[in-house]
Every structure is written in C-alpha cells, then in structure tokens.
A and B are shown apart, each in its own frame.
Chain A
C-alpha cells in the first residue's frame, strides 16, 4: 500500500459537491430558509462551493458565513502551538434559519461540538444540520452528520487530507499514513 492514497480526484470532488447540494435542497424542500456556515478554513471553502451550487439550482442566493472555533476548543490548554485565531464572519441573522454547518472531515466530533456552542452564542437557529465532505469514523462524542460526501474507514493514526484549489492548488482527498506530511 502506498503511503499516500488518492480517495477522491478532482472530478469526483465536483460530483460530490453537487450531490451534497442536491441532498440539502431535497431535505429542506428548497433553499429559502437556509443559511450556510463553514468552519474555517476548508469547511468555509466547501461551504462556498455548496452555496454556489445551491444558488445555481434554486436561483436564489444563499447567505454564507464562516465560523472560527478556536476560542471554543477543548484542547487549547494542552496544545504546544497556539492556533492562529481567525475571525467569525456571519453577516446575516441566523435566528430561525435552518443552518447547514459545513466541515471537511468529521473525525472525533470535537470540532463540531465547539462549532455548535459557537453558533448558539451567535443566535438561535431553527435547526442546525451537519454536512461533511469525509466521515472517517472514530467519534469521541455523540455526533452524527446529516449529509456525508464519502464514508472512509480509517485507522486512528492515519490522516485524511482534503485539498482545495483555492489554497492547495488542486481539488482532491488523500489518505496519508501517520508522519507523512505533504
């Protein structure tokens, strides 16, 4: 087995984004009540892609925002490197909206827990639904995604890397053995 395995290539990436957009519209019977929030950094970029697809399909513009969960993390004290704090940019009122929370990889569930708390501090949405590009298992909290791009069984020490052309120069998903950073 190679150290770096391609799970999704550029074409597959685009198809998965389209399917997620369709599923979200189907489940919510349209996009009128939707608000999309991406978790920085790659969740935010994915949120923009999904929102763009939904806008094209439904002919309305869907409000997008990005969420920085740094201040809500439960491992701030244990980290050796202090994470760079970024800003939360949600310029619309999330009150009574059906919020689609978007992240790239669902792993332990701790990021989503932080994001839920952060969202609740900003307002009271009608519902929050979770959309993730990759679900790799190993949950440590009772959290489940509503929309999943691809389920990938992994071992705990492997890494799933979602690459996006905006910052990584390509759209792809790789499975990397531990210790191999690209």
Chain B
C-alpha cells in the first residue's frame, strides 16, 4: 500500500495503481465531507504551506479546506503578500519556509517545472497545484474521479478536451492520467491553440467540434484566457464561440447525452454556453466537490507515508 512517490508533481508516468489508489481513497473522503462534522484528526501536528505565486480562488480554497479538514496547521502565502514581490528567488523563499519546520508544500507557480525544482531542494512533500503550462495533477485526478463516478469506469471512455490546448496544464494532466487509466483522449481547438506534435501524446486531433461530438462520452471544456484574444491566437471571442463554443444546439444535434466538465472559472457564452453549463449533463459542481475529496486523499496518502 501507499504511493510510490513522496511528491505529487504530475500525472505523466504515474503508475496506474497509484492513480487507482488516489481515486479509491477519495471515495472515503467524499463520505467525510458530507458529514455534519467534516473533520478528521489524521494530519494533526503536520504543518502545510500553500505557496501560491499565481492567483487562484478555487484551487487554493479547495486545498485549504482539504488541509483543515484533515486537522493540519495551514499557512498560505500568495505572491502579492510575500517577499517574492521584493525580488526573493523561489529557492530562497522555499529554504526559508523550510527552516520553519514544515511538512508539506503545495505550490502553484507560473513557471513549468517549479514543483520538480522545489522537490529537489527541500525535504518536505511537494504537491504541484499547477506549474506554468506543464501540469495540474490534482485537477486531472478530480476530473478522472468525476468521470469515474458518473460513468462507473474510465476504461474505454472517450473524452475530448476542447479549447486552448496550447496553454493548458489541465489538458496535459488529463491526457496523461486518462490514457493511463485506459480512456481514449482527443483534443479539439483552433490550430493556433494546438501545441505542435500533440499527436505524439497519442491523442486524436480535431479542428471541428462537430466532427468529434458523435463519438465522445464527455467533453472537458477548457477556459479561454481572455487575454489570448489580444495575443492574436484567434480573431474574436465571438468567432471562437461560433466555431468552438459548446452550445446546447450543437449538443442536441448529436442526439445522445454528453457529460460536460470545466475546470473553471467559466467564461459564459465563450467556450461554454450558459444553458449547457447549468444543464442536466453538466458535472461542473460535482468537480468542485470532488476536488476537496481528491486533495484530502492526496494529502493523506503523502502525509502519512514514510
């Protein structure tokens, strides 16, 4: 029993048994977060530092809740309130925090590889909460958990990731994780937002949403970062919505239910129309609930393993 690694840095190369263990463990935690007293004493006496160099509401809140519900002591640094804004390097920040005797670090950073870097220089367990355009493993895990809960299994499922694949760490974690678990993954988006050689990851690439819809079981719709419009990746948000927006009209034409996931925050009526986001096949709020259970599972598995 137990995970093979003492850090959670990404889903690339993570063994199937480890992913399975995290997903199974999260089932127990989902029961706990639905109790009147949503707290267990498991990580009592452990100190966890959340280092958020990039803004985040959902992920940070979700991690903090998960940590507190396991009775850990929690400190959160955000870029704006820390010495990073005074020019301190990541290495110095991390070493200084470690000198305060901490057990685990959750890090979000705009540079890919920052979590790996941290895991090499400090002794605490490191959890990647999103590093640049590289990976966001807990999001990948909670997406898989939500899909498994909805469909009963991931084996043989066809999931299409839609939108800005190029800048998306969520896409990468989903591709690695879902493929390990035996699901088929496709990607769909404008050519300008498609990474070169993405098909080498074993995914099918689509440039027209209507081509892929008939064969998919679920869509994972990514957020369009609004500043990308100014970057010239696509002409206008309206045009993006017309070609790649997931709308009720488009889904109705397929004639079968397609589950909808979105990592949030949603740009309503850009990548996802409001009636789909709030529709009967939307799993978006389940994703948020499951996110806390998944993070509790990861913290528990890393925090109690020697």
State which of A76, A84, A87, A117 has its C-beta within 8 Å of the C-beta of B31.
Answer: A87
State which of B2, B39, B70, B304 has its C-beta within 8 Å of the C-beta of A77.
Answer: B304
- CA of A77 to CA of B305 in the docked complex: distance in angstroms? 7
B42 adjacent to chain A (CB < 8 Å): yes
B37 adjacent to chain A (CB < 8 Å): yes
B145 shortest CB reach to chain A, Å: 15
B297 shortest CB reach to chain A, Å: 8
| B42 touching A122, Cβ below 8 Å | no
A117 shortest CB reach to chain B, Å: 7
B46 shortest CB reach to chain A, Å: 9
| A117 touching B41, Cβ below 8 Å | yes
State which of B35, B304, B305, B306 has its C-beta within 8 Å of the C-beta of A121.
Answer: B35
- CA of A121 to CA of B304 in the docked complex: distance in angstroms? 21
For window 153-195 of B, CB contacts with A under 8 Å fall at: none
B25 adjacent to chain A (CB < 8 Å): yes
- CA of A22 to CA of B156 in the docked complex: distance in angstroms? 52
A88 adjacent to chain B (CB < 8 Å): yes
- Among residues of A, the one whose C-beta sits closest to the C-beta of B45 is A77
For window 60-105 of A, CB contacts with B under 8 Å fall at: 68, 71-72, 76-77, 79-89
For window 88-120 of B, CB contacts with A under 8 Å fall at: none
- Among residues of A, the one whose C-beta sits closest to the C-beta of B304 is A76
B301 adjacent to chain A (CB < 8 Å): yes
B230 adjacent to chain A (CB < 8 Å): no
Inter-chain contacts of A122 with B (CB < 8 A): 35-37
- CA of A77 to CA of B2 in the docked complex: distance in angstroms? 12
| A82 touching B301, Cβ below 8 Å | yes
A123 adjacent to chain B (CB < 8 Å): yes
Question: With contacts A76-B304, A82-B305 known, is A87 near B41, CB below 8 A?
Answer: no
Mark interface residues in B281-302 (1 if CB within 8 Å of A CB, else 0): 0000000000000000000110
State which of A84, A88, A117, A118 has its C-beta within 8 Å of the C-beta of B1.
Answer: A84
Inter-chain contacts of B31 with A (CB < 8 A): 87-89
| A121 touching B40, Cβ below 8 Å | yes
B28 adjacent to chain A (CB < 8 Å): yes
B27 adjacent to chain A (CB < 8 Å): yes
- CA of A88 to CA of B40 in the docked complex: distance in angstroms? 12
For window 31-53 of B, CB contacts with A under 8 Å fall at: 31-32, 35-37, 39-42
A101 shortest CB reach to chain B, Å: 18
| A82 touching B42, Cβ below 8 Å | no
| A81 touching B2, Cβ below 8 Å | yes
For window 197-231 of B, CB contacts with A under 8 Å fall at: none
- Among residues of A, the one whose C-beta sits closest to the C-beta of B40 is A71
A53 shortest CB reach to chain B, Å: 28
- Among residues of B, the one whose C-beta sits closest to the C-beta of A122 is B35
- Among residues of B, the one whose C-beta sits closest to the C-beta of A93 is B36
B103 shortest CB reach to chain A, Å: 10
Question: With contacts A77-B306, A87-B28 known, is A82 near B2, CB below 8 A?
Answer: yes
| A121 touching B28, Cβ below 8 Å | no
Inter-chain contacts of A80 with B (CB < 8 A): 306
Inter-chain contacts of B70 with A (CB < 8 A): 71
| A71 touching B42, Cβ below 8 Å | yes
Inter-chain contacts of B27 with A (CB < 8 A): 87
Most buried by B among A68, A71, A88: A71
Inter-chain contacts of B28 with A (CB < 8 A): 68, 85-88
Inter-chain contacts of B306 with A (CB < 8 A): 77, 79-80
State which of B36, B37, B300 has its C-beta within 8 Å of the C-beta of A71.
Answer: B300
B39 shortest CB reach to chain A, Å: 7
Inter-chain contacts of A71 with B (CB < 8 A): 32, 40-42, 70, 300
| B36 touching A123, Cβ below 8 Å | yes
Question: With contacts A68-B28, A77-B304, A87-B27 known, is A82 near B40, CB below 8 A?
Answer: no
| A81 touching B1, Cβ below 8 Å | yes
- Among residues of B, the one whose C-beta sits closest to the C-beta of A114 is B41
Inter-chain contacts of B304 with A (CB < 8 A): 76-77, 79, 82
In the complex, 7 of the A-B residue pairs with CB atoms within 8 angstroms, ordered by the A residue number, are A71-B42, A72-B40, A76-B42, A82-B304, A82-B305, A85-B28, A87-B28
Top 7 closest A-B pairs, CB basis? A82-B2, A71-B40, A71-B42, A121-B37, A76-B304, A82-B1, A87-B28
**Extra inter-chain contacts (15) besides given A76-B42, A79-B306, A121-B40, CB under 8 Å:** A68-B28, A71-B32, A71-B40, A71-B41, A71-B42, A71-B300, A72-B40, A72-B41, A85-B28, A86-B28, A87-B28, A87-B31, A88-B32, A118-B40, A122-B36
